[in-house]
């Protein structure tokens, strides 16, 4: 498929154990048994940038779906204060997020167009951290791509482990995409993660873009770095294609 391939894209409601959560899906307009990509949003929720990521993946032949993982703390789309968003995000437990992503896959399977033997995950910033955790959670996963997700942190009851703590237990290889000028993710934490992956014999990889800062793929923000974003996107597609996820031509 290519960038001009017709797609179907729409808001969705995803059944979860405690009620429905909103989300957004995009998939090729025709075809079935499609490989699935879970798209995990930034701290800003499922806004237009994340919806566009879903559509771009759909044009490559993937069934992409982004659940609103902050649904239980309200609509964050109108909140501009990053500190308020951080406080809200802190209320969401990793256990809840894993459960909601599981529910999202179950919903996708129920459409009759998704093949859950071909599942990947990608996520950005807050969602980048989740990619690593989900790769240690779901053995069905074939690949992950984590964009500038935090790798270390202090454990707490809602967030007992961080990516560096699960590096030895990944079920699928993860491609980490990071900015060398990212002031929120110190280089030593990236190296700690690399060391843990190497010690585990993991096929996961981390790529650092020296000229890029945090959120370098976010084309609606001043720190968007087009060259790094374009290269990282192609690396992600190649990473997925190198597994059993490659869409049928």
User: Which residues are part of the catalytic machinery?
Assistant: 125, 182, 214
Based on the number of CB atoms within 10 Å of its own CB, is 108 exposed (0-12), middle (13-18) or buried (19 or more)? buried
Based on the number of CB atoms within 10 Å of its own CB, is 29 exposed (0-12), middle (13-18) or buried (19 or more)? exposed
Residue 133 to residue 167: CA distance in whole angstroms? 9
Query: Which phi and psi (to 5°) does residue 128 adopt?
Result: -65, -40
Using alpha carbons, select from 176, 62, 84 the residue that is nearest to residue 129.
176
Say if CB 106 and CB 231 are below 8 A apart.
no
Using alpha carbons, select from 52, 67, 107 the residue that is nearest to residue 229.
52
Residue 146 to residue 150: CA distance in whole angstroms? 10
């Amino acid at each position: 498929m290519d960038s001009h391939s017709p797609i179907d894209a729409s808001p969705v409601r995803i059944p979860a154990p405690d009620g429905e959560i909103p989300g957004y899906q995009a998939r090729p307009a025709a075809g079935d048994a499609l490989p699935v990509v879970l798209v995990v949003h930034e701290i800003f929720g499922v806004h237009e940038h994340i919806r566009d990521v879903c559509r771009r993946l759909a044009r490559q032949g993937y069934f992409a779906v982004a659940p609103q993982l902050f649904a239980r703390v309200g609509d964050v789309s109108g909140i501009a204060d990053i500190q308020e968003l951080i406080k809200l995000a802190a209320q969401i437990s990793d256990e809840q997020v894993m459960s909601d992503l599981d529910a999202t896959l179950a919903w996708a399977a129920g459409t009759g167009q998704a093949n859950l033997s071909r599942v990947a995950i990608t996520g950005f910033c807050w969602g980048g951290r989740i990619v690593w955790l989900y790769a240690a959670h779901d053995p069905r996963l074939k690949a992950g791509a984590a964009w500038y997700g935090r790798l270390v942190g202090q454990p707490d009851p809602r967030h007992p482990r961080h990516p560096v703590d699960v590096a030895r237990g990944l079920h699928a290889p993860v491609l980490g995409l990071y900015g060398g000028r990212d002031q929120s993710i110190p280089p030593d934490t990236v190296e700690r993660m690399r060391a843990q992956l190497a010690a585990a014999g993991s096929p996961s990889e981390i790529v650092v873009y020296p000229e890029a800062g945090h959120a370098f793929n976010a084309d609606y923000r001043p720190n968007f770095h087009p060259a790094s974003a374009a290269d990282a996107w192609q690396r992600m597609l190649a990473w997925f294609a190198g597994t059993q996820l490659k869409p049928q031509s």
